[in-house]
Amino acid sequence: MMTKHQQCWMIKHYASGDLKGTELELVERPIPALTKGEVLIKTIILSLDPSNRIWLSETADYLPQLAIGDVMRGLVIGQVTESRHPHFQTGDYLHTLQGWQEYAVVDGDDLTPEQGTIRFTPHPDIPLDAYASALGLTGWTAFVGLKKIAQLGANDNLLVSGAAGATGLLACQLGKAMHANVVGLAGGAQKCHLLETQFQLDGSIDYKATDNLSEAMAQQFPNGINVFFDNVGGPMLDAALENMAIGGTIVVSGSISQYQKLGDKTQLYGVQNTPMLVTKRLKMQGYLILDHLDEIDHILPELERWLLEEKIQYRNTEVIGLENAQLALPQLFSGRNTGKLVVRVS
């Protein structure tokens, strides 16, 4: 029997500072034959996320450290093409934490929410790539942050940073769907225009066009911010702390402004307004959607309904071909792309 081969991106060296686009190398590797209990998953869509930068760091963070020579880790929408595990069948769709590769051979027992996998049935009226954005990790992240952590209420004042980014754009739309007063923070007039027109936000702040972020926030929220959904961290977090309303919540979904600096502590931004946590009685909570995958069965139908009702839209920037994945990754940190960055693998 001839062994099949596949393309994989393996880690050549860790990243330090900005991504150079030299961290990974495309190699051809054999696809092992399935043994009992294993499942073959074909990668259809690979998701590119800010967390990729963390996984390329020299020190481990919230997931086990990847070694040089390992296949790069990635979130994948895949389909089971062969199964020797009783719970999985050919054709099953999975949202799963695997790698930058065409196929994955995995023990079916490991395909659990606790280990980063959920099985789902795509809605017949919804394209599959929606499950990589609005109905995928970014949508779930926005949903859990706003509904579960912040318990966003109607008429609450919601500020979203990275508002034109993948998760931010969903947080803005979900905020509107939950009847909040939503203002987005984004870089550039074009993005802000898009947020206000196409996505119908109540306001926007172009952080590139202001040298006083705190004042710009105060103008948008004279009564303070009840919920700050923060993807960015750094100076935006600092300015928001000054503008929070008493008893407000800061949902810390990410700190993308700091990820490329994590290796060099002297470069990290220092948040000066933490004493306001006390005087304003604020809650600030970080979370990872990977801890909430067992709730997705309840979240997904609600998101599907909102998508079908056009309360939320999704907007993917799709890169075609696994071989273009590394080149596309730095776009996440350039502030250039709008919406979710995905790679169509097959």
| Span of 198-206, 217-225, 280-288, 323-331 interacting with a second copy by CB under 8 A | 280-288
**Cα 49 from chain centroid?**
5
What is the smallest separation between the CB atom of 159 and a second copy, expressed in angstroms? 17
8 Å CB contact between 289 and 324: no
CB of 83 to a second copy, least distance (A): 33
99 binds a second copy per the rule CB under 8 A: no
Count of CB atoms within 10 A of residue 123's CB?
Answer: 17
Find the shortest distance in angstroms from Cβ 122 to a second copy: 29
DSSP symbols for 147-199: IIIS---TT-EEEESSTTBHHHHHHHHHHHHTT-EEEEEESSHHHHHHHHHTS
> What is the per-residue binding string for a second copy in 179-218, x denoting contact by CB under 8 A?
----------------------------------------
Q: Which of 41, 124, 46, 127 is nearest to 90 (CA)?
A: 41
Pair of tokens at residue 107 = 């023990």
Q: Which amino acid is at 69?
A: G
Among 16, 29, 84, 269, binds a second copy (CB under 8 A): 269
Q: Scanning residues 285 to 304, which ones bind a second copy (CB under 8 A)?
A: 285-288, 291
Minimum distance from residue 168 beta carbon to a second copy (Å): 14
Q: Is 147 in the site for a second copy (CB under 8 A)?
A: no
86 contributes a contact to a second copy by CB under 8 A: no
Q: Is 270 in the site for a second copy (CB under 8 A)?
A: yes
63 three-state secondary structure: coil
Q: Cβ distance 342 to 133 under 8 Å?
A: yes
Q: Which residues bind a second copy (CB under 8 A)?
A: 54, 61-62, 233, 237, 246, 252-255, 258-259, 262, 265, 268-288, 291
